[in-house]
Amino acid sequence: MKEQQSLVVRNPTDLVSLSPKWLEQKKEEQAKAELALASLKALGASEWRIERVTKRVRLLRKTVKALEAGFVPIPRFDSTKLTFDIEQLPLDVLTMVEEAKIQKVFDEFRFVAGNENERSYGRRRTFKRDPLVVGVIREPDAVRTDSPGGWVREREVFEEHFLIAWWRPEDISPFDHF
């Protein structure tokens, strides 16, 4: 059973000091996964198991690349694919997304809206949340279309999300949107 690692950040400087540890842990995990993959191939394991471990190794390689580039992993939130015609994106955020895109680390960029609703005993309460833009690395990195009926999702998709930008909408002026 894999030990779950929790992360508690009490102050923002903790993130800077934890970043090298994350990178070291992921590199160690990648080395173990690559060793396991080589062993599975040598022992003649099933194709399904080899394919599954291969996907995991590819995800770990991408994760290490993102950590080396300085991106911070975050929890996975419900999100939608980022389209650049979203009116809520300030100029600074567009610039950060462009810089992240140039590095060619991420498979996709996603938008986490800041307008989550919660229902409580039939009444609707609206909570203001700060929107996020996240970079997603995924393995497999694409959705297969080998079904005559249309889109078919892979049986197992591994994902990691990394923070690209977040902002407080009330602090943005209308001139920050182009």
Confidence class for position 30, pLDDT limits 50, 70, 90? very high
| Of 130 and 30, more confident | 30
According to DSSP, residue 134 is labeled E
- 30-38 contact pairs (CB < 8 A, 24+): 30/57, 30/60, 30/61, 30/63, 30/64, 33/57, 33/60
Confidence of residue 90 (pLDDT cuts 50, 70, 90): confident
**Average pLDDT for 115-132:** 60
How far is residue 160's CA from residue 73's CA, in Å, rounded to a whole number?
Answer: 7
Average pLDDT over all residues of the chain = 77
pTM: 0.72
Q: Which amino acid is at 52?
A: R
pLDDT of residue 175: 58
Report which of residues 114 and 1 the model is more confident about.
114
Four-CA torsion 168, 169, 175, 177, nearest 10 degrees? 100
Give the residue, 178 or 33, on which the prediction is more confident. 33
Confidence of residue 178 (pLDDT cuts 50, 70, 90): low
Q: Which of 78-92, 135-149, 159-173 has the lowest mean pLDDT?
A: 135-149
What is the model's pLDDT at position 166?
Answer: 83
| Helix (H) and strand (E) counts in the chain | 3, 9
Q: Which residue has the higher pLDDT, 39 or 145?
A: 39
Where are the domains positioned within the chain?
A: 9-70, 72-178
